[in-house]
Structure 1
Amino acid sequence: MPTLRYGDLPDQVVDLILPEAADAPLACLIHGGFWRAAYDRTHLAPLATALTAHGYAVANVEYRRVGAGGGWPTTFDDVASALDAIGPALASEHPGRVDPAATVYVGHSAGGHLALWAAHRSPTPRGVVALAPVADLVETSRLDLSRGAVRELLGGSPEDVPERYAAADPMGLGPTTARTVLVHGDLDDLVPPDFSRRYCARTGARLVALAGVEHFGVVEPGSTAWPAVLAAIDWAAEPDG
């Protein structure tokens, strides 16, 4: 498995997995863990393997998290730098293997937040799939989810650092220009499903609500949620029209 280094620090790496076929669509995976260093990209390794078997090239992104040099703005800087580096690296080292126009950001939980945030940057991906995403940072702070995780990430509450919430909160940033779909299980007790419902109502993004599915079911190949997750990713990778 080739590894791309987009910086000099240990967490500034991306695992690349390529299928046998040429011109594969590209799924850039962004893991969750409430932005904390205790959780890393290995959590999404089974998802990466399953997507490669389905014909995707996969870039599994690591980034600095709170407790290991992350927070504001370094977590965001790392995700942006990683996503910017993937396309040129693949074109240089693996020409013809990936279709860069068919790039989809796939993020889970806090990674879903980062995927939605990153889709507001240029270049815009073709699609974004946010799985059980932390799509409302202001409400995440108010509810004190994961013992103040978002305040650790941004360095304070919405009242303390309103400009950071304005720059980082998908709910406030509004719709992306990418094909955007949120997938959320109704048994999620870590990230409220209402976050996804309200985000989609606000932005017009597609919502896939899954009955009987908890927080991690959406990233487990072979789970009852997996066919819907795979269909969402395929939809996001399709060209418009």
Structure 2
Amino acid sequence: MAEPLGPVTWLDIWRADGVEVAEDATHLHGRGLAGLRWAVRHAVHRIRHPHVRIPYGPHRDQWGHLYLPSARDAGPARAVPEGDVPSGDPSPAGDVGSAIPVAEGDAASGEHGVPLLPRRRAAVLGVRAGEVAGGPSPVVVLVHGGYWRSVWAADLMEALCADLTARGFAVWNLEYRRPDLHGWDATTADVAAGVEALTRLDAPLDLGRLAVAGHSAGGQLALRAAADGAGVALAVSLAGVLDLVEGDRRWVGTGAVAAALGVTTWDDLPERERSTAERVYGGASPLVRVPIKVRQLIVQGSGDDLDLVDFGRRYARAAANAGDEVTYLEMVGDHFAVIDPRTPIWEATAHAIAEALH
């Protein structure tokens, strides 16, 4: 029997929850027929941009993919010249960075004896961790969206991983437990733990130049992590859900906010439930948390859902009025243009990130 050509991507069209798969396999599920496009795209990215999953906890959804700029890149945090921006489709194998694998017998143990982070650098694709261009690289943590639902996963951000690595950034594409299956506290804790795990990774990372960037629901999680003291120099919202109170009242994502947080903000709640809602939303909603005392970049496509456009504009004003250093970037584009490397709005975003982490 012939060996498979590369890592396997399993696609379940309707299944709501994930299943355990081999470490070199991926299970995409619950996205309907439209999920076929994402499955093909993910399979191509995995073949052309190999990386190794590094767990930060015992659950199958507690991991990240680390990408490093290769020695062939021009230097740290550079801007890609106009006309040379990588497309959403990956370039030939090995062109854009690589990851540090956790080799057998080479992992520090986290809680429950789970291999956590490598004790020494390992080679992959002929690029060693110590051979990236320009020494330690600035780091961007990517937090995917999907209205906090388990059918969407870190593969949504893979095109940005390739683009940012080509610009000289190290990228940590973070997966986390979603609240529809694990509860809101698990989601919040995972994002914080995933960012903190970088401090224990033996890799050429400049954590003094660390950004966390989230798309859609991930924008809320990114700003929440920054507000909770994740130690980042820059927090980036890409079409983020930044007002959870109003998001619940407007039923964004067909009730996604209340479903994720486990409580609604409706005015006719009993007193005890109202108190719980105030506590949960007070900790989770970026608009309630200002000032977060971290430099911020709020990016919004003008053709996105009008509620998200409104949230982004109002949040940026509120944060600035509260004393935060905020840049608001609104350009033509829909909800996914902000994570598509081929678009002008992403090019402007990437330049702004590079400028902030220079």
Correspondent of 2:280 among 160, 164, 174: 164
8 Å CA contact retained: 2:180, 2:260: no
How many residue pairs end up in the alignment? 231
Q: Match of 1:88?
A: 200
Aligned-partner SS, 1:78: helix
Cα distance, 1:190–1:11 mapped onto 2, change above 3 Å? farther
Amino acid in structure 1 at the alignment position of 2:282 = A
- Looking at structure 1, the residues matched to 240 and 230 of structure 2 have their Cα atoms a distance apart, in angstroms, of 22
- Looking at structure 1, the residues matched to 191 and 292 of structure 2 have their Cα atoms a distance apart, in angstroms, of 17
Amino acid in structure 2 at the alignment position of 1:234 = A
Provide the aligned C-alpha RMSD in A: 1.3
- Looking at structure 1, the residues matched to 191 and 180 of structure 2 have their Cα atoms a distance apart, in angstroms, of 16
8 Å CA contact retained: 2:179, 2:261: no
What is the deviation of 1:54? Answer: 0.5
What is the deviation of 1:104? Answer: 0.3
Aligned-partner SS, 1:26: strand
Cα distance, 1:176–1:147 mapped onto 2, change above 3 Å? same
Q: RCO higher in 1 or 2 (8 Å CA, sep ≥ 6)?
A: 1
Alpha-carbon deviations, 1:80-118, whole Å to 9, x = none?
Answer: 1111112222xx2x2xx2111000001111001101110
Q: Match of 1:122?
A: 229
Sequence identity of aligned pairs in percent? 36
Structure with higher Rg: it is 2
Q: Match of 2:216?
A: 109
Matched, 1:36 2:149: yes
- Looking at structure 2, the residues matched to 191 and 28 of structure 1 have their Cα atoms a distance apart, in angstroms, of 26
**Large movers: runs of 4+ above 3 Å:** none
Aligned-partner SS, 2:180: coil
TM-score by length of 1: 0.92
Aligned-partner SS, 1:73: helix
Aligned-partner SS, 2:347: helix
- Looking at structure 2, the residues matched to 168 and 123 of structure 1 have their Cα atoms a distance apart, in angstroms, of 14
Unaligned runs of 5+ in 2: 1-50, 71-132, 267-272, 321-325
- Looking at structure 2, the residues matched to 214 and 197 of structure 1 have their Cα atoms a distance apart, in angstroms, of 15
TM-score by length of 2: 0.62
- Looking at structure 2, the residues matched to 73 and 180 of structure 1 have their Cα atoms a distance apart, in angstroms, of 24
- Looking at structure 1, the residues matched to 303 and 291 of structure 2 have their Cα atoms a distance apart, in angstroms, of 26
Aligned-partner SS, 2:227: coil
8 Å CA contact retained: 2:54, 2:65: yes
Unaligned runs of 5+ in 1: none
